[in-house]
Structure 1
Amino acid sequence: MNLQHHFLIAMPALQDPLFKRSVVYICEYNEDGAMGIIINKPLENLQIEGILEKLKIEPDPRDINIRLDKPVFIGGPLSEDRGFILHSSASEFGSSIRISDDVVITTSRDVLETLGTAQQPEDVLVALGYASWDKGQLEQEIMENAWLTAPASADILFRTPISERWREAARLVGVDIHNMPAEAGHA
């Protein structure tokens, strides 16, 4: 089982405040564990333009057709001051790692310098922090019914309204998440 480029979809019984009703995009999965970015928990009062202002990055030349008022996401509880940019794969930057044919993750400043310009990747999701699981930990959580897994969809990752991502990700595997019990049960 390789979960890279998959979604983890929190089951209704998962009550951890950060992960409750979350969708995590798995960026890396190997024998040492897993790393992912929560894609449906926006930070309050922080948008992409705010990050650019804090870093003193001025889009040049500014393309007024590109919106910078999109939210920045809580990527996870680790390295919350570090930026992770998921984007479409047409562009690669200094520290880009290709996750799939259509998704790349970049942590270098050069991708931020394209935001708001014609050089910006078509699809962009900016997150602060990430989530991580040690060897065997994620598999155990899946066996305990904390998570559903589904092959990732760039459409859900980048274009589905934030409030609908949890439900739509579950639908990828034929599950109506709202009809599932909030208590974990064992047959």
Structure 2
Amino acid sequence: MDSLQGHLLIAMPSLDESFFERSVIYICEHNDKGAMGVMINRPTNIVIDELLEQIGLAKKAQLSLSLEESVVLGGPVDTDRGFVLHTPQSIWVNSEPVSEFCMLTTSRDVLNALGTEESPKQFIVALGYAGWSKNQLEEELAENTWLTIEATPELVFNQDYDQLWTQATKQLGFDIWQISSQVGHS
């Protein structure tokens, strides 16, 4: 299978009543060792300003804009660890390009810059990530657990959390509720 890095995983309706119900996950890494992604549509009750204060990084005098956006729950793995998806900037300590329009940074320096003039233009702050071991994601795709589409900046950065799952499924050209989660064999 080709790498799904830079794509979105869209949860099938069969995942209702599970951790991943109606989730949209941005795949940051996918190779022969497994996959890693960040769920981008599950807001927490913590806003970025509060998170920065909690970890001792808030410098209110430097802030040029409010950081009232919610921190998202990126997945069930390492929920005490922060991840920042953001528009490209090559100045952060632990940054990896994911696509032409997005990078993933795990260092505190990007958090310290949020809300200042050095801040990335667009960003998502997530706690935790979703991970798959070798061949696990491929098996889940074969079982019709996920749909995939190529990610766009509009879908990753500019969507209402409550509407992202619906907006992403519309990109596929059909109503997701009309498809069956059952696999048929002939």
TM-score (norm 1): 0.92
- Tell me what 1:32 maps to: 33
The structural deviation recorded for 1:91 is: 4.8
Pairing 1:4–2:5 present = yes
- Deviation digits for residues 26-61 of structure 1 (CA, Å, limit 9, x no counterpart): 000000010000001111x20101111011112352
Cα deviation code 1:133-153 (max 9, x no counterpart): 011111110111000010011
Which ranges in structure 1 are unaligned for 5 or more consecutive residues?
none
Determine helix, strand or coil for the equivalent of 1:13. Answer: helix
CA contact (8 A) 1:8 1:23 kept: yes
Distance 1:50 1:58 in 2: 8
Q: Superposition RMSD on alpha carbons, in Å?
A: 1.3
Indicate conservation of the 8 Å contact 1:141/1:147, yes or no: yes
Regions of 4+ moved over 4 Å? none
Counterparts of 1:137 and 1:58, CA distance in 2:
39
TM-score (norm 2): 0.93
Separation in 2 of the partners of 1:58 and 1:100?
Answer: 29
Counterpart CA distance in 1 for 2:167 and 2:138 is 23
Aligned to 1:124: 123
Contact 1:92 1:104 in 2 (8 A): no
Q: CA deviation at 1:118?
A: 1.2
Q: How many residue pairs are counted as aligned between the two chains?
A: 182
What fraction of aligned residue pairs are identical, expressed as a percent?
Answer: 43
Counterpart of 2:53 in structure 1 is 53
* Higher alpha-carbon deviation: 134-143 or 166-175: 166-175
Report how far residue 4 of structure 1 moved. 0.2
